[in-house]
Amino acid sequence: MTNSETKATLSFSDGSPSIEMPIYKGSIGPDVIDIRKLYGATGKFTYDPGFMSTAACNSSITYIDGDKGELLYRGYPIEQLAQNGGDFLESCYLLLNGELPNAEQKEKFVETVTKHTMVHEQMQFFFRGFRRDAHPMSVLVGTVGALASFYHDSLDINDAHHREVSAIRLIAKMPTLVAMAYKYSIGQPFVYPRNDLSYSANFMYMMFSNPCEPYKVNEVLVRALDRILVLHADHEQNASTSTVRLAGSSGANPFACIAAGIACLWGPAHGGANEAALSMLEEIGSVDNIAHFIEQVKDKNSGVKLMGFGHRVYKNYDPRAKLMRETCYEVLNELGLQDDPLFKLAMALEKIALEDEYFVSRKLYPNVDFYSGIVQRALGIPTALFTGIFALARTVGWVAQWKEMISDPEQKIGRPRQLFVGSPKRDVPAMDKR
């Protein structure tokens, strides 16, 4: 954060004295006005539900230019990382450490992550406590939080080595937990990780192999999964990341913080949108029903939204959606599903929505979730697990942001203020007077 000479002056029409506040410049993006002294100087808070205009931290991890439709991890465009960059673990290294790894660093990082893929054997009893039809996100909130009970040797958040070990554990164990949640839901035995496989290939193996038959990894499908992971790895201060930061600001351990992030991600306005987008396509059913559906979306009383469209930050095409559409083609071709009716329906719906005045005037474009459900379904991932895959990918972003927060000397416990609109102080009346 660079302190500039520029200052903002806030004046009041009620005769209160005006105050000056410093303005800071980031490396790119909007400047921020530092309002920290506002309450002390004026006795007034600011009001900003949904953080529409409020930066709650400084960060050097991920940058989004919503108007241009640009997403950068540590300065590198997502398109380059997804198309010419290496695999997901390379993006993980980049997000955690700030630079892409050289060959030696990459080898060491992959080896370290790979050595942590197994979970404590007793974790299986947590899974067995859930109903078979439990939502995987509920299982993940529980089991990721439970990791804190097993890894006491990495819980000291003030110890940089502990933080590092927890970060690696979370990234390495998430695929194992997500695959266990799936296997449990279908009544198949848990599959132990295979450390001779890549991160994404190992996940496919734990998901889709069984002890009775050999399993052949399909490289095209592994690449598609890897791309899903790269595209979802981080997205600056979104709701779940802010949740992780807020939970961590109290000094909570990283496993608890990531469990909080998973809980937030579950909501349909956030990570749950990929599941909701696919269900929406299934409900629309055919191209002939699109016009009626769009009419419902435009009717504010219907409560119907075009899922997979719109974004708080992107007021242009989400760059991840373009890459996801490309992957969609690749996967459907590989599996001989070029005529997949849901993909055709999605493309027709996108075209109609992009030409419709309602969406154009509100700058509503497809987001990453519009196509990711179709890809995941083609990979064999059940709809209920889509958000779990998102959580698996986002774990590295959460962890990187959590680590950044812990090492920030300006970090304070997160404690928003409120505009109180309830009853002023009053006396409790006796029962017969109520």
What is the rounded distance in angstroms from the CA atom of residue 121 to the CA atom of residue 253? 21
Is 261 a binding residue for ligand CMC by CB under 6 A? The answer is no
9 forms beta bridges with: 20
- The single residue among 74, 163, 169, 270 that binds ligand CMC, judged by CB under 6 A, is 270
Compute the least distance from the CB of residue 151 to ligand CMC, in Å.
28
- The single residue among 310, 373, 388, 397 that binds ligand CMC, judged by CB under 6 A, is 310
Query: Cβ(403)–Cβ(167) under 8 Å?
Result: yes
CB proximity list for 157: less than 8 A, separation 6 or greater:
163, 248, 251, 253, 254, 406
Rg (CA), the chain: 24
Residue 150 half-sphere exposure, CB side, CA atoms within 13 Å? 19
What is the rounded distance in angstroms from the CA atom of residue 342 to the CA atom of residue 286? 8
Is 312 a binding residue for ligand CMC by CB under 6 A? The answer is yes
| 152 burial type by CB count under 10 A (0-12 exposed, 13-18 middle, 19+ buried) | exposed
Closest CA to 238 of 269, 277, 274, 275: 269
- The single residue among 258, 264, 364, 405 that binds ligand CMC, judged by CB under 6 A, is 364
Compute the least distance from the CB of residue 366 to ligand CMC, in Å.
9
Is 248 a binding residue for ligand CMC by CB under 6 A? The answer is no
Which of 226, 234, 318, 369 does the annotation list as catalytic?
Answer: 369
| 402 burial type by CB count under 10 A (0-12 exposed, 13-18 middle, 19+ buried) | buried
Which of 232, 234, 311, 318 does the annotation list as catalytic?
Answer: 311
The footprint of ligand CMC on residues 132-191 (CB under 6 A) is none
- The single residue among 74, 245, 311, 325 that binds ligand CMC, judged by CB under 6 A, is 311
Is 362 a binding residue for ligand CMC by CB under 6 A? The answer is yes
Residue 308 half-sphere exposure, CB side, CA atoms within 13 Å? 27
CB closer to ligand CMC, 52 vs 103: 52
CB closer to ligand CMC, 222 vs 277: 277
Binding region for ligand CMC (CB under 6 A) out of 68-76, 216-224, 360-368, 414-422: 360-368
What is the rounded distance in angstroms from the CA atom of residue 195 to the CA atom of residue 199? 8
Compute the least distance from the CB of residue 373 to ligand CMC, in Å.
11
What is the rounded distance in angstroms from the CA atom of residue 173 to the CA atom of residue 123? 11
Is 306 a binding residue for ligand CMC by CB under 6 A? The answer is yes
CB closer to ligand CMC, 213 vs 357: 357
Compute the least distance from the CB of residue 365 to ligand CMC, in Å.
10
What is the rounded distance in angstroms from the CA atom of residue 223 to the CA atom of residue 110? 17
CB closer to ligand CMC, 166 vs 367: 367
- The single residue among 136, 271, 373, 388 that binds ligand CMC, judged by CB under 6 A, is 271
Residue 161 annotated to the active site? no
CB closer to ligand CMC, 90 vs 369: 369
Closest CA to 270 of 232, 304, 298, 297: 232
Nearest residue (beta carbon) to ligand CMC: 310
Compute the least distance from the CB of residue 5 to ligand CMC, in Å.
33
| 407 burial type by CB count under 10 A (0-12 exposed, 13-18 middle, 19+ buried) | exposed
Write the binding mask 284 to 303 for ligand CMC: x where contact by CB under 6 A, - elsewhere: -------------x------
Alpha-carbon 244 to chain mean position: 11
Residue 292 annotated to the active site? no
Is 321 a binding residue for ligand CMC by CB under 6 A? The answer is no
Residues of the shown chain interacting with ligand CMC in the complex, contacts defined by CB under 6 A: 235, 238, 269-271, 273, 297, 305-312, 362, 364, 367-369
What residues are labeled active site?
A: 311, 369
